[in-house]
Structure 1
Amino acid sequence: MELRYLTSFIAVAEELHFGRAARRLRMAQPPLSQRIRRLEKELGVQLFERNTRSVRLTSAGRSFLEPVRRVLDDLDVAVRAAKAAGQGEYGRVTVGFAGASSHDTLPLLTRAVRAAHPGLELVMRGQTYADVALAKVADGSLDLGFVRLPADLPGVETRVIGEEELLCALPQDHLLAERERIALADLEGEPFVTFPANAGSSLRDASFRACEEAGFRPRVVQEAPDSYTILALVAAGVGVTLTLSSCLHIQQTGIVHRPLGGPPRRLRAALAWRRDNPSAALRSVLRVAAEALPTPPGYEAEGGRSGGAAQLREAPKAAGAD
Structure 2
Amino acid sequence: MDIRQLECFVAVAEELHFRRAGERLGLSQSALSERISALEHELGARLFFRTTRQVSLTQAGSEFVRDAKKILSDIERSIANVRHTADTDIRNIRVSGVDEAISMIMPQALLEFRGTDPEVHVQLLEISSSEQHVQELINHRTDIAFVRRPCDDDFIVSELLQRQPIFVVLSSKHPLAMLESIEVSDIMTEPIVGYPKHARPILHEALWSGFRKHGAQPNVVCEVIDKSTLLQFVSRGLGVALVPEWVRNIAPANVTFVPFNSFEKAIELYVAYRKNGNSKSVSKFVDAVRRVVT
Instruction: Work out the CA distance in 1 between the residues paired with 2:218 and 2:243.
Output: 14
1:237 match? 237
Instruction: Work out the CA distance in 1 between the residues paired with 2:237 and 2:139.
Output: 40
The unaligned stretches of length 5 or more in structure 2 are 1-79
Distance 1:283 1:177, change over 3 A: same
Supply the AA of the counterpart residue of 1:270: Y
Does the 8 Å contact 1:164/1:267 carry over to 2?
yes
SS in 2 for 1:133: helix
Supply the AA of the counterpart residue of 2:235: A
SS in 2 for 1:249: helix
Cα offsets for 1:296-316 (capped at 9, x unmatched): xxxxxxxxxxxxxxxxxxxxx
1:161 match? 161
Instruction: Work out the CA distance in 2 between the residues paired with 1:205 and 1:119.
Output: 42
Instruction: Work out the CA distance in 1 between the residues paired with 2:189 and 2:128.
Output: 30
Does the 8 Å contact 2:159/2:270 carry over to 1?
yes
Supply the AA of the counterpart residue of 1:147: V
Instruction: Work out the CA distance in 1 between the residues paired with 2:263 and 2:150.
Output: 20
SS in 1 for 2:229: helix
Instruction: Work out the CA distance in 1 between the residues paired with 2:293 and 2:84.
Output: 28
Question: What is the Cα deviation at residue 130 of structure 1?
Answer: 3.2
Does the 8 Å contact 1:92/1:120 carry over to 2?
yes
Instruction: Work out the CA distance in 1 between the residues paired with 2:212 and 2:220.
Output: 14
Give runs of aligned pairs for residues 1-322 of structure 1, distance below 5 A.
Answer: 82=84, 86=87, 88=89, 90-100=90-100, 102-151=102-151, 155-199=155-199, 201-212=201-212, 216-261=216-261, 265-294=265-294
Instruction: Work out the CA distance in 2 between the residues paired with 1:206 and 1:140.
Output: 32
Question: What is the Cα deviation at residue 274 of structure 1?
Answer: 2.0
Does the 8 Å contact 2:117/2:281 carry over to 1?
no
Q: Which has the higher contact order (CA 8 A, sep 6+)?
A: 1
Instruction: Work out the CA distance in 1 between the residues paired with 2:151 and 2:251.
Output: 31
Does the 8 Å contact 1:168/1:257 carry over to 2?
yes
Instruction: Work out the CA distance in 1 between the residues paired with 2:154 and 2:214.
Output: 32
Supply the AA of the counterpart residue of 2:256: V
Instruction: Work out the CA distance in 2 between the residues paired with 1:207 and 1:113.
Output: 37
SS in 1 for 2:197: coil
Distance 1:137 1:249, change over 3 A: same
Question: What is the Cα deviation at residue 248 of structure 1?
Answer: 0.5
Instruction: Work out the CA distance in 2 between the residues paired with 1:100 and 1:94.
Output: 17
Does the 8 Å contact 1:108/1:293 carry over to 2?
no
Instruction: Work out the CA distance in 2 between the residues paired with 1:210 and 1:154.
Output: 35
Instruction: Work out the CA distance in 2 between the residues paired with 1:148 and 1:217.
Output: 25
1:313 match? none
Question: What is the Cα deviation at residue 99 of structure 1?
Answer: 3.2
Instruction: Work out the CA distance in 1 between the residues paired with 2:110 and 2:151.
Output: 23
Count of aligned pairs: 214
The unaligned stretches of length 5 or more in structure 1 are 1-77, 295-322
* Greater per-residue helix proportion: 2
SS in 2 for 1:283: helix
Instruction: Work out the CA distance in 2 between the residues paired with 1:207 and 1:134.
Output: 25
Does the 8 Å contact 2:150/2:270 carry over to 1?
no
RMSD value, Cα: 3.0
Question: What is the Cα deviation at residue 231 of structure 1?
Answer: 1.1
Question: What is the Cα deviation at residue 196 of structure 1?
Answer: 2.7
Supply the AA of the counterpart residue of 1:184: V
Instruction: Work out the CA distance in 2 between the residues paired with 1:129 and 1:99.
Output: 10
Question: What is the Cα deviation at residue 262 of structure 1?
Answer: 6.9
Distance 1:200 1:186, change over 3 A: closer
Instruction: Work out the CA distance in 1 between the residues paired with 2:197 and 2:262.
Output: 27
Does the 8 Å contact 1:138/1:273 carry over to 2?
no
TM-score by length of 2: 0.63
Question: What is the Cα deviation at residue 266 of structure 1?
Answer: 1.6
TM-score by length of 1: 0.58
Instruction: Work out the CA distance in 2 between the residues paired with 1:150 and 1:101.
Output: 15
Cα offsets for 1:200-245 (capped at 9, x unmatched): 5543344434544565443321122310000110111111110011
